[in-house]
Amino acid sequence: MQSVKLAPSILSADFARLGEQVATAVNAGAEYIHVDVMDGHFVPNITIGPLIVAALRPLARETGAILDVHLMIEKPDRYLADFAKAGADILTVHVETCPHLHRTIQAIRELGVRPGVTLNPATPLVTLEEILPDVDLVLIMSVNPGFGGQSYIPGSTAKIRRLRHMLDAIGSTADLEVDGGVKPGNAAEIAAAGANVLVAGSAIFGGRSITDNIAAFRGALG
Ligand code: DX5
Ligand code: ZN
């Protein structure tokens, strides 16, 4: 099993204490900061935009944390430059929102940002086949996007395993990230299936202390 990175989703953080909570997560060893951007159209919820990415940039640059931006918005091409300027290190788009996915991925790379691609739970992996060689990250949604705190869809593990085979078959070193319902209790299963970046919102920013929550993930991952 390769070393697994943690990507706390700030969606479940206390936004009145955002900087402090993200700093705690990064100081406890989280490598990525996962930013969930929702537009109330592609997904039912509305969240945040480039301003929050820009606000977190100094912390990310000081600590080396990666600003991992997950765009759950229609017509994402309109906002790529804004997020790049705000400091996104990774920009991940949904295949369901990109009729010209190859063009979108190239546009992200031309902005100097690492391109990622993701797909909803019911969207088959075959939709990624042609774009896999061009991306630096593939995100498997293990819940229907829109809200934190949902339960992991069990069939996601088999999908992760199949994607791991697809990436290995083309010699890709892209991150395989998983998002939704990830907890210390299922982290080992997800990593064993081939994921190397785990997003967790409620399991990191909810319940006990952020530091203890991250330690629980590290314990589970061995
Ligand atoms: C869901 C978001 C996730 C979400 C994960 O649409 O993409 O990143 O915040 O939250 P948890 O870990 O609570 O399922
Ligand atoms: Zn996300």
Q: What is the pTM of this model?
A: 0.98
**Alpha helices (H) along 64-170:** 80-86, 101-110, 156-169
Per-residue pLDDT at 208: 80
* CA 146 to ligand 1: nearest atom: 6
- The ligand placed nearest to the CA atom of residue 90 is 2
Closest Cα to atom 4, ligand 1: which residue?
Answer: 148
pLDDT of residue 2: 59
pLDDT in tens, 119-128: 999 999 999 9
Judge contact between 119 and 83, C-beta under 8 A: no
User: Which protein residues touch ligand 1 with a CB less than 6 Å away?
Assistant: 9, 11-12, 34, 36, 70, 143, 145-146, 148-150, 179-182, 199-203
Residue 115: strand pairing partners: 91
pLDDT at 83: 99
pLDDT over 70 (residue 219): yes
> 14-60 pLDDT, tens per residue?
999 999 999 999 999 999 999 999 999 999 999 999 999 999 999 99
